Amino acid sequence: MDMRVCVLGGGSWGTTVASLAAHNTPTTLWCRDDATATSINERHINSRYLEGYPLHESLRATTDLDAAVSSADLLVMGIPSHSYREALQLAAAFVRPWVPVLSLTKGLEQGTSLRMSQVTNEVLPGHPAGALTGPNLAKEVLAGGAAASVVAMADEVVSDALQAVFSTDLFRVYTNDDVVGCEFGGALKNVVALASGMADGLGTGDNTRAAVITRGLAELTRLGCALGGRPETFAGLTGMGDLVATCISPQSRNRYFGEQLGRGRTVAEIAEEMDQVAEGVKSVPVVVELAASVGVDVPIATEVLGVVRGEQSAQEAYRGLLGRSIRREVEPL
């Protein structure tokens, strides 16, 4: 392929996606850290986040934003939600006209409640904007485990072209024009993963975890549909698939964060030891605010927010959920 790809963000998933793209087309990874760029270029490993997981040998890394972005035919944003707008604004000076922008970020912007593709549309109007999202754990993908993901973009011609950029023998990429549903699925499932992790931290069993995941899926589907997503999207890879992977995997940052909350640690204590962002912690107040704006009940997110804010313990949150009135399992969307 002749499409040149630039990925911004040298974290675990940004690096993994850049390595996937490098199988098919010339790819550059922009990182802030000189040591990370050197490690990738000289050892073909991201020694900070992915030590022991070899990257594609053709992948190149740089700390020069102009050099990385100015020649790109596709810009991929592997930047956390709280830094996404700032990073894109810095890159905007070097992005050529009409270059598609694909987000890897499963979060919502604080203060605006915007999805990342909406932020892209504000910063770079006229550029096709979408997301690459699904049940994808970086280390499993790099280790060669079979996985699937979704390119979410309204323009099917563009999404079909991007599908080929990331597909490999073991990484299957689908397309979906429901950008709203795909992005909300990725953001909302992180909040449920916090709740699932809290259950693990409290020492509950698989029955509890299964109930949290299932009721969490119902909750994110209700809210996601009220915000414009389609029901079938939340039953797919970017909804149920991503939710299950994030809630059960020991590699999941959000599940781990919730587990530590369940063990009685504070948000500040956990965040201090973690080297990467747990997006659910930043997304949960936005999720609860969005739910209130459209009149959707989100009991799991509401209880998680109380724990994140230090207003109650994880044990108290679960008591609150169990104390809710008995109702029908399935309600109309």
**How far is Cα 246 from Cα 251, in angstroms, rounded to an integer?**
8
Whether 7 and 162 have beta carbons less than 8 Å apart is answered as no
3-state class (DSSP) for residue 249: coil
Known catalytic residue at 282:
no
61 three-state secondary structure: strand
Report how far residue 164's alpha carbon sits from residue 168's, in angstroms, rounded to the nearest whole number.
8
Q: What contacts 89, CB < 8 A, 6 or more positions away?
A: 123
DSSP letter assigned to residue 313: -
Q: Which of the following is catalytic: 106, 139, 189, 282?
A: 189
Residues recorded for the chain: 333
Structure tokens at 27: 């790819």
Exposure class string for 100-139: b at 16+ Cβ within 10 A, else e: bbbbbbbbbbeeebbbbbbbbbebbeebbbbbbbbbbbbe
User: Which sequence positions are flagged as catalytic?
Assistant: 189
